[in-house]
A and B are shown apart, each in its own frame.
Chain A
């Protein structure tokens, strides 16, 4: 059964490209273009992996990420943060399972997604 990836990304172009790549790689994709979504909507998608765009490392910036981790339904779902921040490791410390620096290589991204989905739940 194909794995479901939820992408939360503000930039339209990147969102489009990401979803195209992932679909091409054989994943099911659900896209959200805004941060103002509630956890329930994400949970409804039943994701196996979440790709989350993070701008700031502050509490507001990582609010959604932390919320996901705190949610009983979603806490097991691996979260890979995509960030332009200069210190992305901090995001990993705060709430993400992995971080990819933007701009990233597409192949690399696919590799990371694959890794996290392969890992036993």
Chain B
């Protein structure tokens, strides 16, 4: 039954009770009122009539006058019509009779007085009857009232009880199911999806309960499917982490171990399953390696750990995990920030790279040795040959020795360049930075090529202040670059021309430039000049280079924090420049 109907019935019932009670009350009141008023009224009327009669009789003397006789007749008529009590009619009849006898002229005064006494006696009887009736009716009335009151009280009590229990129970009809719903919903908000409500019947609540149950079921299903999905994702990620060849350790915000894979366990000599959930601070008391890893702040240097049966090198990477955190401020502005959710430490096994690196270095050293040793030998022998103590050489021999010497020098130069390049490529370039005066470096370089310049009658002009600020560079390498520039300039200049070396201070740098007045370099080659193995395609005259000089120069200068460039145009010669930062304290 629908709640609406139930409510209507309920209120209707209340209404009926109230009506019923009202009706009963009215009934009783009517009863009492009626019995006490109207019926009594008759008796009072009879009494009134008898009183009037008595008054008339007292006033008059016999025989009755016309008026009196009419009066008396009237009163008697009234009395007669007002017979209400048992025996009253007999009394009234007797009265009638007595008064009729009065009217007849009496033989003597004694019988006259007896007739009067008879009248009065009948009147008195009527009075008594009526008074008795009044008293009796009063009494009845009183008991009636009492009874009515009692009944009403009883009925009122019953109604009250009914109403009371109604008041107590009826709201429950609606409120109880609502409370059950409210409780169930509260449970749901606490993620307890096992609620089930049952309301028998066919009313709105039972329907609501059915829908509610469906909803809870769906929520439960969604939650478990979500859970299942999250669970499977977690398992997948765990499997991936487990698979990885690098050691991974994850910590949460409280520095407890969240995950640690097999490789990490092996490295740290820990049982991974045991370690999960433990506080890292506790674990590192017993584990030196772990404490090293967790406390390293500079993770540039590789860590040496014994693993795989040999000394291995590991690169530590530490990442902080942040998750977005959205806060709602009081003024309805959502502030997005992030909070830390832990850290992840990764140890990458770089032993292979290290080994490769070492192999490369060794290789270069070996190659260097293999190439330079014979060259050293040749050079030394040449020197000895030029020494007169061993024997003098004739001019042709001397010339031949000179050629050998030149070629040997060239060989040495090329091997040197190749090896330098190899070093640069493996990242092995080592610079010795010192504070140096730019002019001194330039003078050194000029000195190195002085002989060459003299041979071609080319003038080397140096334009430079003597008090230039110092630069912080590897002097040898910088000089090498200058020598390279100068050699190139000499090679591409015609005899009897000039090469200008200029050093200026510009912005915060010292700019070196070597200017030649040769034929210049075509635009399209200028960009590629500093590329490895690049040689400007020429008429075959100057093939003595290796294409490496400028590339190496670029590497050197850039490693010193400087810049290198060229300015050139066909027919106008070239200007090769590089700048180096001024030494700052």
Closest chain-A Cβ to B433's Cβ sits at a distance in Å of: 13
Given A84-B365, A84-B369, A86-B420, 17 more A-B residue pairs with CB atoms under 8 Å apart are: A11-B373, A11-B374, A11-B377, A13-B377, A14-B373, A17-B377, A21-B384, A55-B365, A55-B366, A84-B372, A84-B373, A85-B365, A85-B368, A86-B423, A103-B380, A103-B412, A106-B384
Query: Would you call B420 and A106 a contact (CB within 8 A)?
Result: no
Ranked 6 nearest A-B pairs via Cβ: A103-B376, A84-B372, A13-B377, A84-B369, A102-B376, A17-B380
Query: Would you call A106 and B383 a contact (CB within 8 A)?
Result: yes
Query: Would you call B384 and A17 a contact (CB within 8 A)?
Result: yes
Whether A102 contacts B373 in the complex (CB less than 8 A), given A17-B384, A21-B384, A86-B419, comes out as yes
Closest chain-A Cβ to B111's Cβ sits at a distance in Å of: 180
Q: Measured between alpha carbons, how far is A56 from B368 in the docked complex, in Å? A: 10
Closest chain-A Cβ to B119's Cβ sits at a distance in Å of: 168
Closest chain-B Cβ to A24's Cβ sits at a distance in Å of: 7
User: Considering residues B364, B372, B420, B432, which has the most beta carbons from chain A within 10 angstroms of its beta carbon?
Assistant: B372
Q: Mark B353-395, 1 if CB is under 8 A from A, else 0.
A: 0000010001011101101111111011101100001000000
> What are 24 inter-chain pairs, A to B, with CB distance below 8 A?
A11-B377, A13-B374, A13-B381, A14-B376, A17-B384, A20-B384, A21-B380, A55-B365, A55-B369, A56-B362, A57-B365, A58-B358, A84-B368, A84-B369, A84-B371, A85-B365, A86-B368, A87-B428, A87-B430, A103-B372, A103-B376, A104-B376, A106-B383, A106-B384
Q: Mark A18-32, 1 if CB is under 8 A from B, else 0.
A: 101100100000000
Q: Per a CB cutoff under 8 Å, which of B365, B383, B384, B389 touches A86?
A: B365
Chain A residues with CB under 8 Å of B365's CB are 55-57, 61, 84-86
Query: Would you call B383 and A105 a contact (CB within 8 A)?
Result: yes
Q: Per a CB cutoff under 8 Å, which of B362, B377, B412 touches A14?
A: B377
The residue in chain A whose Cβ has the minimal distance to the Cβ of B366 is: A55
Closest chain-A Cβ to B411's Cβ sits at a distance in Å of: 10
Q: Measured between alpha carbons, how far is A20 from B380 in the docked complex, in Å? A: 11
Q: Which of B160-178 contact A (CB under 8 A)?
A: none
Q: Which of A71-121 contact B (CB under 8 A)?
A: 84-87, 89, 102-106
Q: Mark B554-577, 1 if CB is under 8 A from A, else 0.
A: 000000000000000000000000
Chain B residues with CB under 8 Å of A21's CB are 380, 384
The residue in chain A whose Cβ has the minimal distance to the Cβ of B372 is: A84
Q: Measured between alpha carbons, how far is A86 from B368 in the docked complex, in Å? A: 8
Q: Measured between alpha carbons, how far is A56 from B428 in the docked complex, in Å? A: 14
Closest chain-B Cβ to A77's Cβ sits at a distance in Å of: 24
Whether A24 contacts B430 in the complex (CB less than 8 A), given A14-B377, A86-B423, A103-B375, comes out as no
Chain A residues with CB under 8 Å of B375's CB are 103
Whether A106 contacts B380 in the complex (CB less than 8 A), given A84-B368, A86-B419, comes out as yes
Closest chain-A Cβ to B412's Cβ sits at a distance in Å of: 6
Q: Which of A30-63 contact B (CB under 8 A)?
A: 55-58, 61
Query: Would you call A86 and B381 a contact (CB within 8 A)?
Result: no
Closest chain-B Cβ to A109's Cβ sits at a distance in Å of: 9
Closest chain-B Cβ to A36's Cβ sits at a distance in Å of: 17
Chain B residues with CB under 8 Å of A61's CB are 365
Chain B residues with CB under 8 Å of A13's CB are 374, 377, 381
Chain A residues with CB under 8 Å of B423's CB are 86
Q: Measured between alpha carbons, how far is A58 from B354 in the docked complex, in Å? A: 13
Q: Measured between alpha carbons, how far is A106 from B362 in the docked complex, in Å? A: 27
Query: Would you call A17 and B419 a contact (CB within 8 A)?
Result: no
Chain A residues with CB under 8 Å of B380's CB are 14, 17-18, 21, 103, 106
The residue in chain A whose Cβ has the minimal distance to the Cβ of B362 is: A56
Closest chain-A Cβ to B106's Cβ sits at a distance in Å of: 181
Chain A residues with CB under 8 Å of B373's CB are 11, 14, 84, 102
The residue in chain B whose Cβ has the minimal distance to the Cβ of A24 is: B389
Q: Measured between alpha carbons, how far is A84 from B368 in the docked complex, in Å? A: 6
Chain B residues with CB under 8 Å of A102's CB are 372-373, 376
Q: Measured between alpha carbons, how far is A105 from B377 in the docked complex, in Å? A: 11
